[in-house]
């Protein structure tokens, strides 16, 4: 099975910048960026990253704020934090290089998939990768639903039996490409599949039965309200989210989630009191934008505000700064904040 698959890959593989290198650092960065993110989105971020941070050492020497700014808009910011932590460990404990053994798997954010990808592509080790695309291809090839942890061990064994001895990295990339480009969730292009003759689901006309579809949970929607709190010099407050929280290390307008039964304005007054220990006067509404995350959706409501009384004290943030609107691009903000800033520019 591996020969026709790799032959297909050699002819049809996409020209991606990380595929021109065997440098384990570059392969690692690409694989981290490709988690939860589409290839076309990743390419410009990857090129920019490699230009600014070409080595493990360059990341270790960088400030996390600069790293987050470069990552801005790519999402899942924990990935950027983990790259920084891993590079620090490699410089301080591992001679400044990615190790070619299971030590690498123990670094922050690496895990089984990235370990297998880097070891097979950069170091030519015979270790199968398993991602969503591979699970789908495998489930159709062997008419088996690979979802439970025990079944993934079975899938790993099957892939290990078929993986190329000479080109394990190319085999892994080929099967992932096949899942993305040919063996798609809907409307798979079986007539273009180089391994259809090995596929049980193709033979038995059960392609659309695999993998077994999970029932999707309804995505919750939350109202979040934030304050554009200005002083007499027309500067406004931004606060930095704690590293351990979602969107950790990014800057934002202070505020938070509306609780059941609260008005938007009362919610904002409460949140600002809890976060900054000040009382505010809520003025005109800036606007509302919608934004989706992997596990929830939000409606982000923004209001112009002024401090009424009290002394600022940070109760829920790592930092606070007063900035001009023209300074926004010097800081890393979540995409939802940028959407709200664009609304402000219109008004």
Catalytic residue list: 31
CA angle centred on 316, ends 312 and 321, rounded to 5°: 50
**CA 247 – CA 80 distance, rounded (Å):** 11
The helix/strand/coil state of 185 is coil
Burial class (CB in 10 A: 0-12, 13-18, 19+), 269: buried
Backbone conformation region of residue 111, classed left if phi is above 0, alpha if psi is from -120 to 50, else beta? left
Q: How far, in Å, CA of 59 to CA of 91, rounded?
A: 10
Alpha helix (H) residue ranges in 182-316: 200-203, 264-276
Where are the alpha helices (H) located in 143-205, listed in sequence order?
149-162, 168-181, 200-203
Three-class secondary structure of residue 108 per DSSP: coil
* Six token digits for residue 238: 């931004």
Phi-psi region of 262 (alpha: psi -120 to 50; beta: other; left: phi over 0): beta
């Amino acid at each position: 099975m591996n020969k026709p698959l790799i032959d297909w890959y050699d002819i049809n593989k996409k020209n991606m910048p990380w595929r021109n290198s065997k440098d384990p650092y570059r392969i690692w960065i690409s694989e981290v960026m490709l988690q939860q993110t589409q290839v076309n989105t990743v390419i410009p971020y990857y090129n920019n990253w490699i230009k600014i941070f070409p080595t493990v050492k360059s990341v270790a020497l960088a400030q996390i704020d600069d790293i987050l700014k470069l990552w801005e808009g790519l999402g899942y910011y924990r990935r950027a934090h983990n790259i920084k932590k891993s590079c620090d460990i490699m410089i301080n404990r591992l001679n400044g290089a990615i190790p070619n053994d299971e030590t690498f798997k123990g670094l922050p954010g690496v895990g089984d998939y990235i370990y297998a990808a880097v070891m097979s592509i950069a170091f030519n080790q015979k270790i199968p990768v398993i991602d969503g695309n591979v699970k789908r291809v495998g489930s159709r090839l062997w008419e088996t639903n690979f979802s439970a942890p025990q079944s993934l061990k079975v899938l790993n064994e099957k892939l290990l039996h078929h993986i190329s001895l000479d080109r394990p990295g190319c085999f892994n990339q080929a099967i992932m490409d096949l899942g993305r480009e040919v063996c798609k969730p809907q409307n798979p292009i079986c007539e273009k599949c180089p391994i259809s003759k090995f596929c049980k689901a193709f033979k038995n006309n059960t392609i659309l039965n695999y993998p077994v579809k999970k029932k999707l949970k309804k995505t919750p929607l939350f109202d979040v309200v934030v304050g554009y709190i200005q002083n007499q010099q027309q500067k406004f407050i931004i606060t930095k989210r704690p590293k351990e929280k979602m969107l950790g290390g990014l800057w934002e307008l202070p505020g938070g989630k509306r609780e059941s039964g609260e008005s938007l304005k009362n919610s904002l007054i409460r949140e600002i009191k809890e976060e900054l220990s000040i009382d505010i006067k809520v003025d005109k509404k800036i606007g509302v934008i919608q934004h989706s995350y992997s596990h929830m959706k939000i409606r982000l409501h923004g209001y112009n505000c002024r401090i009424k009384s009290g002394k600022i004290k940070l109760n829920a943030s790592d930092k606070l700064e007063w900035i001009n609107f023209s300074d926004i691009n010097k800081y890393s903000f979540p995409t939802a904040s940028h959407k709200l800033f664009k609304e402000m520019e219109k008004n």
